[in-house]
Structure 1
Amino acid sequence: MTYADSVRALAPCGLSCEKCLAKDDGAIAGHSRELLRLLTNFERHAERFAGMNPVFASYPAFLDMTKHLAQGNCKGCRAGECLHKGCRVHSCVKAKGVDFCFQCAEFPCTNTGFDPFLQKRWQTMNERMREVGPEGFHAETKDLPRY
């Protein structure tokens, strides 16, 4: 795993873009598209299946959610499309000329725009990246759930 791989996979804050539910070429969008393909026309049968198992009565909501996830409407934070509307990290790292927050002399700071939960997560991720490098952090977290 190279530094460039880590920059591609991780947002400047340390969150995994490649595992984000909104990433257009991410695993969640890809698996959702495949699930939709495999379930093509199943909506015609869901009501009958609901007679065997009531969970299938929720199929329309499941289908709506799967269609939403399959859209993958984000190109990633480094493309300037952070889904956290208050996020100031992308513009800050650009202005500071760094790839990740921990590389900034002012880290940790309060210029993230994050809520307290995400602020704590951001700091923890960046402290770990400072210890093991972005490549090490990426290797440690690539197979862990993002959420």
Structure 2
Amino acid sequence: MEKNQMIAVCGLNCSECDIFRASNNPEIAQRIVNWFKEERHIDVKIEDIHCLGCREDRTKHWSPDCWILRCCVDEKGLEFCYQCEDFPCEKLSEWAKKNKKYEEALNRLKEMGKRQ
């Protein structure tokens, strides 16, 4: 993958994502399966813990129905959210408030936009 392909449409860094890394690491995948069982009381199979990134086969994407992916890529035909005339939209800004990694992703997108 090229460097920019490791950054998701939303700005998350795929190489830091456990689900992305679990595709090639059964220990990480098992840890995620255990987390779902203990924290969410959901049984998932180890083979379900995989993602090749936003730009790959959606059947191998952790969240093929991701609202950000649908909006940015499917509806607007963009590569990254920062390319949108509404960036950062209210929905993306609210998403970023939910988690430090999401906030970092939004900031990464802002930086990418400044370089364009």
Q: Fold-level match, TM-score > 0.5?
A: yes
Residue of structure 2 equivalent to 1:77 = 54
- 1:21 corresponds to which of 8, 18, 23: 18
- The equivalent residue for 1:9 is 6
The answer as to whether partners of 1:102 and 1:127 remain within 8 angstroms in 2 is yes
Alignment partner, residue 65 of structure 1: 31
Secondary structure of the residue aligned to 1:111 is helix
1:65 CA drift (Å): 2.3
Q: Structure 1 residues 126, 115: CA separation in 2 closer, same or farther (over 3 Å shift)?
A: closer
* TM-score, with structure 1 as normaliser: 0.48
RMSD: 3.5
Judge conservation of contact 2:50–2:62 (CA < 8 Å) in 1: no
Structure 1: runs of 5+ lacking an equivalent? 37-63, 134-147
- The 1-side partners of 2:6 and 2:13 are apart by 6
Higher RCO, Cα 8 Å, sep 6+: 1
Q: Give the Cα separation in 2 of the matches to 1:9 and 1:129.
A: 13
Count of matched residue pairs = 96
Give the 3 Å change call, closer, same or farther, for CA 82–29 of structure 1 in structure 2: closer
Partner of 2:72 in structure 1? 93
- Aligned with 1:107 (options 65, 87, 108): 87
- Corresponding residue number in structure 1 for 2:38: none
1:14–1:100 CA contact under 8 A, matched in 2? yes
Contact 1:12 1:100 in 2 (8 A): yes
Larger Rg: 1
**Cα distance, 1:99 vs. partner?**
0.6
TM-score of the two chains, using structure 2 as the length reference:
0.58
